[in-house]
Structure 1
Amino acid sequence: MTIGQAAIGRIFREEYGRSLATLIGVFDDIDVAEDAVQEAFAVALIKWPAEGLPPNPGGWITVTARNRAIDRLRRQTRERRLLGDVTILVPDREPEEQDPVPDDRLKLIFTCCHPALSAEAQVALTLRLLGGLSTDEVARSFLVAELAMAQRLVRAKRKIKAASIPYRIPADHELPGRLPPVLAVIYLIYTTGLSGPEERGLCAEAIRLARLLTALMPSAAEVAGLLALLLLIESRRAARTRPDGSLILLGDQDRLQWDRSLIAEGQAIVRRCLLHDRPGLYQLQAAINAVHADAPTAAHTDWPQIIALYDHLYALAPTPVVALNRAIAIAEVHGPAIALALIDQLDLDHYYPFHAARADLLRRLDRHREAATAYQRAADLAPDGPERDFLTRGGR
């Protein structure tokens, strides 16, 4: 079967992280692995359209990349010691295509999200090394020049080497501290993708990474909770904006536009998480979104259940942001005055959703002048995009 460049590009995105993770495990060098995988895909662009797709494209890429890396190291006498190490693992005969070890990708996720790296570097490396995004694509997601992003990626990889950050899955006793940054990076990738239509590829990438992590860690309820949360948020994408790009609030959305298949998948994951009886931050947030998805109309939303879930969430994470969202739910049961009194106790002056929530409650209390001021404050703090436009228009 012949194959076009677009299809090869899709395979590249799907298999890049798998092949790269395998080769890093073999050569213990991110740069060597990256160069080899890039070369293998360049060969694929020439061979596959003419010869057809191999039975196992991922295995073909991995084997080709591994052979390319070995050939390069053999030509570099300064790398002969490393070559001696890897030739024990890779015989001279042509190896058969095989599926790479899945745990290699899990090792790479934890390497990218090591706490020694900045949050920005964690996100950038995850997108580049596991997501297969080009440096230019990663740069666009950060709104910086490609050269600047290339330099950041180089510095991050140097830090991994200089700090001897281990390429391994953390031990069981380390996982409770190491898993949250990994989940936070994937969630941040998704929320970045919500900022505008040009960034939607990041949403898809975050969901793909969450699926990957779920497959690699099937017993980790919080990983499953993150996947469920992303699926349930994603299910509402089509209803979130009008054709002109303006924002539609949750209560005003056309629920017939919600993706019922994503909702069904997300809710099924939430139900499975309940069986573990180990509620966590992402599981509870997913459960809250599952309750919203159950309601055929905004008026049928089970707000008391949502408040109860926020109570559990606040017990685990007593942050001002959780308190803000809990107060918004309380407004639907006990009225805007009680909710406003709760919100006004929070120290969130530089958080635009805080001012947006205050503005809405003030409007509902007919305190329109104060509401206008709060809307303006929220708009000043909000990033460019539909939310800022909505707030600039005074919530209309």
Structure 2
Amino acid sequence: MFLFYIIVGLLIYLFYLIFRYFQVKANAFSKDEVIKAAGRQAKKLEYVDPEITCDFCGCKIDTRKYKVCPHCGGPYDKDIEWTSRHEVEEAFVERETLHLISKRQQKAAEESGKILARIKRSIFIIAILNLAAITVAIIYLNNARNSRYMGKTELNDTKYENYTEASYNIVGDGVLFDDGRVTITLEKFYVSDRVRDNEIDGYKYGNVKAAIHVINRLNSDILVTINSNSINGNSQSSYYISTYDYFKRNSDSVIYEKIYEMPYQSVSEIIFSRVSISNDDFTYNEAAETPICIRTDTDFSYTLPVKQDANLIFTSDKADVYSIYTEEDYNPRYLLYVVNKTDKDYMIKGTEVKIAGDEHGLYCFSESQVPAGYTFISNIHSYDAEEDISKKDCSLSIFFSCEEDPRYDFSTGYISLK
């Protein structure tokens, strides 16, 4: 911004110099100035009318007193003595005026030359500053463009991290997507001993990273989106893994994605609900058609239990829905549990919530995956953070979509959260 103000100031100064340049050039040849100069030179002549001899009668004529001969009345305007005197005066005035004009032209040329030199310097400085600004902009845009690309990232990218390879391994090839042009593979898991306690539910949050290998064989940059909200029998409205990164053309990269809010350190199963790839002009736009399940050789599994005092607000042969109001972590909300009792994977695609009939009273999840046998957990908040929704009639309706077989779609209808 400072450079911009400097350039604007120099442009204003340049316009002023150009105006001064043409002003000086114009004044050097000004008609009014020439007339004034001639008048000043004419005043320098000491005008004394001479006595001349009349060409008609030979008498003397005092031209200071008489306009014609006082003896014979003859005119003397053609008299050679009279006319030669005025020719000398005119020649003097013309010569001196031309000399003055020449001096003015010389002075104007000197001053305009100085102004022209300033104009050239100003143009040069403005050009240099503009070139510098363009260079800085190109470098910034190039860095900004390059900074969006993912390369081979470091496993331990801070001095506080100490991730090591997990004791369990992926079963199978771990391929999330492969069409010959783009290949995405989940290769390994890494764990760190820096874990933290969940003081409310009595378990430890795991500190796990997943190594994802992305090979882009296309001659264009790609955007890769990878989402997973289901792991070890648990699903949630937020993502355990969420990748939204750009990869350069013809690149081979390994990135390490942290798994957030995962109970304990072992991954027995992780399900990716979305794996999609596209380039900037969408001439390439592909995605995995179905969720991808990756398993490991560990026997450990931990499904978050439904809280003991939660209320069963809906039950069927397909799902049980529980709710409980809590103010844990100073965050007043309802906790919603959805237990998928079938062998079908469901997507919660439509959720309507109400407070006393107002359909816009609560904030809830929108679209989430609930795989077969999984328990889904989500928070339900009021839009007004200070509103006590525990004392109001809150209800919701959940629509379950089975993409494998739409015949298994169902809805809970409106059910009270109490």
Sort the TM-score into its range (normalised by shorter chain): under 0.3
- Structure number having the greater strand percentage: 2
Alignment TM-score, normalising by the size of structure 2: 0.21
Alignment TM-score, normalising by the size of structure 1: 0.22
